[in-house]
Amino acid sequence: MKRSTLLAAIVVAMAVLAAACGSSSNTTSSGGGGGSSSSSTPSGSAETAGARGGTLITRANAAPSGSPDPQVNYTLQEWQFLIITHDGLVGFKRVGGAEGTKLVPDLATEVPTPTDNGKTYAFTLRDGIKFSNGKTVTGADVKATFERLFKIGDSPNAGSWYNVIQGADACIKTPKSCDLSKGIEVNGNQITFHLTTGDPEFLFKLAVPFGFILPADTPAKHVDIPPPGTGPYKWTEYKPTTQMKVERNTFFKEWSKDAQPDGLPDAIEQRFGLSVQAEVTQVENGQADYISNVDQVPADRLPELSAKYSKQLHVNPLLQTEYMALNTNVPPFDNEKARQAVNFATDRNALVKIFGGPQLATPTCQVLPPNLPGYQPYCPYTANPGAKWSAPDMAKAQQLVEESGTKGMKVKVNSDTTDVHKAIGEYFVGLLNKLGYKATPQFLSSDIQYPYAQNSKNKVQLAWSDWFADYPAASDFLNILLGCGSFHPNSNSSPNIAQFCDKGIQAQMDKATATAIEDQNAANQQWAAVDKATTDKAPWVALVNQKMLDFTSARVKGFQFSPQWYFLLAQASVK
Amino acid sequence: MAEFAYEPEPAGAVVLAPGETAREIAGKSPWRLAGRRFMRNRVALAALVLFVLIVVVTFAAPLYAKHVAHADPFANNLNGTTVVDGKRIEVLQQGGGPLKLGETPIGPTWHSNFFLGADNQGRDVAARVLYGGRASLLIGIGSALLACLAALLLALVAGFFGGPVDVILSRLMDLIWAFPIFLLAISLATVLLTAPDGLQWGPVRVDPSSLWVPTLIIALVYVPYVYRPVRGQVLSVREKEYVEAAIAQGASNLRLMFSEILPNVLTTVIVMLPLMIATTILTESALSFLSIGVQPPKASWGTIIDDGQNLLYSRPWVAIAPGIMIVLTVLSLNVLGDGVRDALDPRAKLRIKG
């Protein structure tokens, strides 16, 4: 998921999920693990559990971008609320730390093991769960939910995530008459999904808000406020100019502490309209409890917060990579040596400073971030190649530029106008000039930079971008950002900005995807090999892996950071 | 956005400045009279001195950077160090407290290097402010001159020929005027910045990061602001007896426009020029602040304020210093503009609308 486009990202951080697809019971973690790296508060486990009651006041500069409809909105800002008002058949365990990436049964009684080469998933719906309007959840609601996903017409991932459901192709062509009877078989409480092809990541896709179950009578058009759900809270206010609010759902009875625990605050609000600087001041003064993940704490407030409010700060690693995409189809970076040269020359320690220092970012050379399945530390572009980046190698870089014959070429460095990203762009303009290129900047508003960089018509040579995992899977990085199928010429929606397509590597990716259906651990090894092979080809200059900084008020107790959902709002106490 | 309206004196009227007698001005050319009046206006003189000082200081930026600050104000200096009070320290300093969050640039040292401190890329702010002034003044003066020149020519043509020529040109100007200035400038800048190969007019190519881009955009949006009063003047002067006499003598259209009419409307443009420069400097700063004017790592006062707004809490001088420079420059130009107006056209009214 692209953070800058979506305003916020689903971030699946830290934990190693060895999630054997389709089974929650054999999910394991290794290495890395959970918890905050430097927080004064361990994120993996709650602080002293607090009392119920009160209102948790959160602040955001603006309302979540786009429609509030749960099947359309693609921002973590709204998803943080949707996960406590709605449920999917399965869900990510609602705890902090590594456990938070584990799949657990939610509205279904258990996480199914796929059959038929990963093409069939059978669920049993729990009895007696009610929506916040008092109606009982039925199999018909499940089928209607996924039909609505297509009928609504602009659900962002309908065509890329859920098109594997049998009948979905016809739904994409003629959304209004969408009928998934073949793809979703309902028999009482038994629900069976039939897919056209084995999809090892299908369960993850059911665990995010696009797949959350809505009442069957929800109109197939955008709603102004999310419709009734099954969680411990219900939406009572959604005013994009002032605030959104959820309050207790009186029909909620806890059925699974793992999937959907009851909430502690009586109500949770998010108020809009202040600058981030003012939001920080409000949290300092106790006028607000939390700054939404969409608003980053301004860099010049960090030393003050670090010194005075360290107990209210929470730093946690994200499953995220910052990178500069090198266009492999346009000179000079159609030349592999030129791409490797920039990789060798990049001083990632300097870039760490731009991101706020070593506590908030760590250098990286590779595509996959730490703790993602398939991650194995690898850095060929450093003074002493090995597992970790240590220092730039300018001599090697200059030698490669000479060998590539690209010295003196013009390069436009594309980035957006936000403070940090502009600074990164400026850094690369200076670096490329030092390497002998004639570099100039092209800084565009963050609203247009990402689509502009994706469109091959614009011949962008070097573009800043970042990526946050939608769910914990290596393919969510490698296949989406560097797969041949992700490059769409002349389209604003072509996430493979580097226009990288290596048939050998693509074959490796396809093989790893197929392997994951049967053996996730073996697939993880294959993804690690793909990561190395891709890194060697240098379609990116991978820069850093960022960490999340949360700042909460003094009255907030029980801060938990889920790698999937960030700060678990409902699990914090304000009493 | 301030707008100004200029009402010149009726052409041909005898004008005396306050405290001036007819005897004093008898036999003196209008330009000499204007010079005499300007030199007697101490406030305007002070403004001129201040403006010249700002120009000289900013155009000495390369000397300052090389010989005083010993710094490259455009290259990032994230890992740089400097010596303060005999101690070598990092230009970007890690935050304190138990978590050591953030990297804060050093503040003003009040010494030759990092006199005003560093920005978030570790660059010398004082050197950038001087370089930034150079860019701001070049763009401000350049775009004001271009706007005035274009407006003068168009107004001469429209006012002299009248009829359909006047209608077409005036409506075109109205069209540009109808757009909010910043909306038009932002739209133009976005289009130019996203052009993959820059601007191309035959053999002339303008790179999107060139200073010409903001200069041309700002010039374009301000043409109508000068065109309107000048066209009115041309329409008035064209009916004067001496113009009719020249027509009777068989003078060509070009001669009528440039020898008879132009000298009589030129003072209007001269009076407006300092105010236009002040306005275009402000516009340039605003556009650069929005990241669509001067492109980093080049500096202008607007880009430096943009850099500084993210350091307002910890390093306010990064934003304050270029802000002070803008205030001083615009103030000096406004006072200078008043002085020029008083000197050239003592009874004219110049209204600034907020």
Instruction: State both tokens at B108.
Output: 């003003």
Tens digits of per-residue pLDDT, B159-175? 999 999 999 999 999 99
pLDDT at A15 over 90: no
Where does the pLDDT of residue A10 fall: very low under 50, low under 70, confident under 90, or very high at 90 and above? very low
Tens digits of per-residue pLDDT, A220-238? 999 999 999 999 999 999 9
pLDDT for residue B40: 85
Q: Which of A74-78, A342-346, A498-502, B323-327 has the lowest mean pLDDT?
A: A74-78
Q: Which of A299-303, A496-500, A563-567, B70-74 has the lowest mean pLDDT?
A: A299-303
Q: In whole angstroms, give the CA distance from residue A404 to residue A336.
A: 8
pLDDT at B296 over 90: no
Where does the pLDDT of residue A107 fall: very low under 50, low under 70, confident under 90, or very high at 90 and above? very high
pLDDT for residue A341: 98
Query: How far off is chain B from A300, nearest CA to CA, in Å?
Result: 5
Judge: A303–B314 Cβ closer than 8 Å, yes or no: yes
Give DSSP secondary structure letters for B1-54: --EEEEEPPPTT-----TT--HHHHTT--HHHHHHHHHHH-HHHHHHHHHHHHH
Tell me the ipTM for this assembly.
0.81
Over its C-alpha atoms, chain A yields an Rg (Å, rounded) of 23
Judge: A310–B97 Cβ closer than 8 Å, yes or no: yes
Q: Identify all chain B residues contacting A307, using CB atoms and an 8 Å cutoff.
A: 95-97
Tens digits of per-residue pLDDT, A134-188? 999 999 999 999 999 999 988 988 888 999 999 999 999 999 999 999 999 999 9
B295 touches chain A (CB under 8 A): yes
Peptide bond into B196 cis (omega under 30): no
Q: In whole angstroms, give the CA distance from residue B55 to residue B325.
A: 11
B81 touches chain A (CB under 8 A): no
Q: What is the mean pLDDT of chain A?
A: 90
Q: Identify all chain A residues contacting B96, using CB atoms and an 8 Å cutoff.
A: 303, 306-307
Report the residue count for chain A: 575
Judge: A444–B190 Cβ closer than 8 Å, yes or no: yes
Q: In whole angstroms, give the CA distance from residue A103 to residue A18.
A: 11
How far is CA A68 from each of CA A80, A221, A249, B47, B155, rounded to the nearest angstrom? 13, 11, 19, 56, 53
Query: How far off is chain A from B120, nearest CA to CA, in Å?
Result: 8
Judge: A440–B208 Cβ closer than 8 Å, yes or no: yes
Tell me the pTM.
0.84
pLDDT for residue A133: 96
Where does the pLDDT of residue B145 fall: very low under 50, low under 70, confident under 90, or very high at 90 and above? very high
Where does the pLDDT of residue B99 fall: very low under 50, low under 70, confident under 90, or very high at 90 and above? confident
pLDDT at A33 over 70: no
Query: How far off is chain B from A433, nearest CA to CA, in Å?
Result: 10
Q: Average pLDDT, stretch A487-514?
A: 94
Where does the pLDDT of residue A572 fall: very low under 50, low under 70, confident under 90, or very high at 90 and above? very high
pLDDT at A343 over 60: yes
Q: Average pLDDT, stretch A175-202?
A: 95
Please name the member of A303, A349, A417 whose beta carbon is closest to the beta carbon of B95. A303
Q: Average pLDDT, stretch A459-476?
A: 94
Q: Which of A123-132, A302-311, A387-396, B227-236 has the lowest mean pLDDT?
A: A302-311
Tens digits of per-residue pLDDT, A115-147? 998 999 999 999 999 999 999 999 999 999 999
pLDDT for residue B38: 86
Question: Is residue A325 classed as helix, strand or coil in its secondary structure?
Answer: strand
Q: Identify all chain A residues contacting B208, using CB atoms and an 8 Å cutoff.
A: 440, 442
Q: Identify all chain B residues contacting A443, using CB atoms and an 8 Å cutoff.
A: 193, 291, 295-296
Tens digits of per-residue pLDDT, A504-524? 999 999 999 999 988 999 999
pLDDT > 70 fraction of chain B, expressed in percent and rounded: 89
Judge: A313–B99 Cβ closer than 8 Å, yes or no: yes
Judge: B296–A306 Cβ closer than 8 Å, yes or no: no
Please name the member of B194, B291, B310 whose beta carbon is closest to the beta carbon of A299. B310
Q: Identify all chain B residues contacting A353, using CB atoms and an 8 Å cutoff.
A: 78-79, 92, 103
Please name the member of B100, B207, B313 whose beta carbon is closest to the beta carbon of A304. B313
Q: In whole angstroms, give the CA distance from residue A74 to residue A360.
A: 25
In sequence order, the 6+-apart residues with CB closer than 8 A to the CB of A543 are A321, A322, A323, A324, A346, A348, A351, A363, A364, A424
Decide: A265 and A254 in contact? Cβ < 8 Å: no
Between residues B40 and B54, the one the model is more confident about: B54
pLDDT for residue B166: 95
pLDDT for residue A419: 87
Between residues B30 and A491, the one the model is more confident about: A491
Question: Is residue A466 classed as helix, strand or coil in its secondary structure?
Answer: strand
Q: Identify all chain A residues contacting B295, using CB atoms and an 8 Å cutoff.
A: 440-443
Judge: B310–A419 Cβ closer than 8 Å, yes or no: yes
Judge: A299–B190 Cβ closer than 8 Å, yes or no: no
To which H or E segment does residue A246 belong?
strand A243-248
pLDDT for residue A46: 45
Q: Average pLDDT, stretch B141-145?
A: 96
pLDDT > 70 fraction of chain A, expressed in percent and rounded: 91
Between residues B313 and A312, the one the model is more confident about: A312
Calculate the CA A61 to chain-centre distance.
20
Q: Which residue on chain A is closest to B293 by alpha carbon?
A: A443
pLDDT for residue B9: 55
pLDDT for residue B127: 96
pLDDT at B243 over 50: yes
In sequence order, the 6+-apart residues with CB closer than 8 A to the CB of A187 are A139
Instruction: Dihedral sign for Cα A406, A409, A415, A420, please.
Output: positive
Q: In whole angstroms, give the CA distance from residue A379 to residue A390.
A: 9
Where does the pLDDT of residue B343 fall: very low under 50, low under 70, confident under 90, or very high at 90 and above? confident
Q: Average pLDDT, stretch A540-551?
A: 96
